[in-house]
Amino acid sequence: MRLSQWMLGLGLAALTTTGAHAATTVEMHAVSADGVGESIGTITAEKTPWGVEFTPDLKGLETGMHGFHLHQNPSCEPAEKDGETVAAAAAGGHFDPEETGTHQGPYGEGHLGDLPLLTVDAQGTSTTPVLAPRLTMDDLAGHALVIHAGGDNYSDDPHLGGGGARVACGVIETTQ
């Protein structure tokens, strides 16, 4: 039996979530060293039996793969880092409650905030869901989601997987 047939056999009730912390939607904004800009869409985080699913509905991004992370602070404001004003630097580093100090991707044992790459199509939109198997909805509130300019190789070389500049950010105030 194929996985899709098995999932259809589960029925719709098995695919929906109920109860506390079932889903939350985060408004995402373009960010620069000058501040927080216009909305580029939303990302919905939803509880699943396999972790947290993030479903983007974004527009205006560069085509390709983008690093995507849960950051430690609930801010998208620019801040000074190494003597330079950096976009969304007030979001801090990747969410790493166990203080692993290493970047190993969503399936590794490093930062808990390491999320799967977001894919942006030729029209600049991103709508493909990604799954973060190690996160729960309780981990999200009081943090920021950040999208980086480049991809992510899920290692510490280059620094933090090479995602580069922060181009979009959204604050997760509460989860529903």
Q: What pLDDT digit, counting tens, does each position of 11-58 carry? A: 322 333 344 558 999 999 999 999 999 999 999 999 999 999 999 999
pLDDT at 173: 86
Which tens digits make up the pLDDT trace of 78-107?
999 889 999 999 999 989 898 988 778 788
Q: Domains (ranges, CATH) in the chain?
A: 19-172 (2.60.40.200)
Which tens digits make up the pLDDT trace of 158-173?
555 557 799 999 999 8
Residues 6+ apart with CB under 8 A from 32: 78, 87
Cβ-contact 124, 61 below 8 angstroms = yes
Single pTM value for the model: 0.84
On the 0-12 / 13-18 / 19+ scale of CB atoms within 10 A, 44 is middle
Q: Which two structure tokens, joined as six digits, stand for 54?
A: 């993030």
